[in-house]
Structure 1
Amino acid sequence: MSNRIAIVTGGNRGIGLAIVRALSNSPKTTVLLTSRDISAGKAAIASLTSASSVQCHQLDTSDKRSIHKFYVKREYGKIDVLINNAGVNLDHGQKFTAENARRTLDVNYYGTLHMCQSFIPLMQDGGRVVNIASVAGHLRSIPSEDIQSRFTDSNLDVNKLDEILKGYLSDVVDGTYVQKGWPNMRSYSVSKVAVIAMTNILARENKHLYINSCCPGWVKTDMGGLVGKPTKSEDDGAKIPVRLAVGDIGGVSGEFWENPGIHDTEDGRVSKW
């Protein structure tokens, strides 16, 4: 087996670092840990007991220029695994604003999309993409059945999905988003619904790859602790993403994976979106 090249965004802490830690122990795998703050990324690598196969790169996934600078084709020629873990949740602990909603979509959805668009072309047959989503991104989080149906339309593509999200932000700006059927003060949920929908689109368009989304569970991280007391460790939270990246998934692509129970620590199964 040739050396596997794996990118992990937001790899300097939390679930991202746990994913890096697990992948660093995989045979013949070079892990490219990316971090918005390069010093935080280097500190993360220093915390690993096995870091010889891990490299640190500065990357802000919400900035297209940063993504373009992180162009690894010259050095590696290909990518085998892309794990889009970087994300924010600005709905808790501060006032809900249109700017926070925009920032949430920029990082969680558009950042993930732009990473996929930039690196999928470098993937060979059998390459894997793992987009970190959330149970907060279940369709039931959106009150309007009409809006739900737009996300599941079989003809949906990324351009039409962009129109849906622009409509959401416009509704947030003019204060009508709740009465139009969007969830109240939950831009994080909307961003993760969009990530799952986008994952399904990319899987349809790239049948030579395995492209899936997943919820790592309720994990003891800074983000996970915003709404209560999480039940999973960071290493437990890494199990599903790592399985989707390098484990046996039975040839499944274009699905949403999660654990069925809040206390489960298994490595995931396909779930109804």
Structure 2
Amino acid sequence: MSSKVAIVTGGNKGIGLATVRGLCQRFEGIVYLTSRDVARGEKAVSDLQKEGLNPKYHQLDISDNKSVEVFRDYIKETYGGIDVLVNNAAIHYPRDSTVPISVKAEQTLFVNYFSTLSTCEILFPILRDGARVVNVSSSAGRLNHILNQELRQKFEDPTLTIPELSNLMRDYVDAAKLGTHAADWGNSSYAVSKVGLNALTKVQQRLLNDRDIKVNAVHPGFVDTDMSLHKGTLSVEEGARGPLYLALDAPDSVRGQYLWYDTTIVSWYDGTPIEKSETTVVQ
């Protein structure tokens, strides 16, 4: 039987690195730390090896389809498939960034939504039946960050398709370039990208139900990382709790959900707790 395989994108630091560490400690299979930058990725692997852990490394730039295809072919040929995929890689411009909103919108959505989507489209065909996919989201991904009610209804449409969702993401980028985005979409490109990721999670789950694949999104909390400018109040280990729970421990019935870092299932609309997933099986 082929070894089980777990993959973490953007795994060389922060929550991604802590997730790799936790998988190495508990996952019964092979764990791949991936990163865009080879030197940083190999350094992270070396550091984990000093802790007595043994992740493997492969270069993976989610914004480069060729890189993802090379990785897919390697994993397929070597192991036959993937059992856990943690989509962690993302970018975030600081609140005080002077980069124009047109650039923030295009770049943030390109990485956080479109590149995650293309990575999934390339890797999903080699997911094994029963696999788990974890989309690392944010509290910024709450639907109420979208101000226009008609837009919110489009995101919540139970028949929403990926092409339709991608068109919504393009509509935002276009509005940002025109400077007409604020009234409908708010002022945070990061929030829009994570709303898109949460919507994608639900669509992906619907498409993969017949293969018993679980796809969920998680807000890891306000974590002390480069992305939070180290203002976060949680450690990276605490930030990895939610991703690890979904990758290893959540009941199989937890599908297409939005979880908080303490593993509570919450409303996508406003983050209101729905179920405590540690003790309640979601039907």
| Superposed pair shares fold, TM > 0.5 | yes
2:246 alignment partner, one of 226, 244, 247? 244
- 1:269 corresponds to which residue? 264
Partner letter of residue 11 of structure 1?
Answer: G
What secondary structure is seen at the aligned counterpart in 2 of 1:106? helix
Q: Which residue of 1 aligns with 2:101?
A: 97
Displacement, 1:115? 1.8
Work out whether residues 2 and 28 of structure 1, in 8 Å CA contact, stay in contact via their aligned partners in 2.
no
Aligned to 1:44: 44
3-state DSSP class of the match of 1:270? strand
Cα RMSD of the aligned pairs, angstroms, is: 1.5
Following superposition, the deviation at residue 2 of structure 1 comes to: 6.0
Residue number in structure 1 paired with 2:138: 134
Contact 1:5 1:29 in 2 (8 A): yes
Query: 1:202 aligned to 2:204?
Result: yes
When you count helix as a share of all residues, which structure comes out higher? 2
Q: How many residues align?
A: 261
**Contact map agreement 1:12 1:44 (CA 8 A) in 2:** yes
Tell me the residue number matched to 2:272: none
- Which runs of 5 or more residues in structure 1 are unaligned? 260-265
Contact conserved, 2:13 with 2:44, CA < 8 A, in 1? yes
Q: CA deviation at 1:27?
A: 4.6
**1:77, CA displacement in angstroms?**
0.6
What pairs up with 1:27-66 in 2 under 5 angstroms?
A: 27-48=27-48, 49-52=51-54, 54-66=55-67
How far apart are 1:104 and its partner, in Å?
Answer: 0.6
> Using a 3 Å threshold, how does the CA distance of structure 1 residues 69 and 2 change in structure 2: closer, same or farther?
closer
SS of 2:247 mapped into structure 1 = helix
SS in 2 for 1:21: helix
* Aligned partner of residue 23 in structure 1, secondary structure: helix
Residue identity in the other structure for 2:64: D
* Structure 1 Cα separation of the partners of residues 199 and 192 of structure 2: 11
Structure-1 separation of matches of 2:252 and 2:79: 28
TM-score by length of 1: 0.92
Q: Deviations over 1:204-229 (max 9, x none)?
A: 00002000000010100011237xx3
Residue of structure 2 in register with 1:262 after alignment: none
Q: Give distance in 2, aligned partners of 1:248 and 1:255.
A: 11
Quote the Cα distance in structure 2 between the aligned partners of 1:15 and 1:70. Answer: 22
Residue 172 of structure 1: aligned partner: 176
**Residues 9, 83 of structure 1: 8 Å contact kept:** yes
TM-score by length of 2: 0.88
Separation in structure 2 between the aligned mates of residue 30 and residue 93 of structure 1, nearest angstrom: 40
Contact 1:23-1:31 within 8 A present in 2 as well: yes
Q: Distance in 2 between matches of 1:28 and 1:138?
A: 33
In the other structure, the counterpart of 1:107 is 111
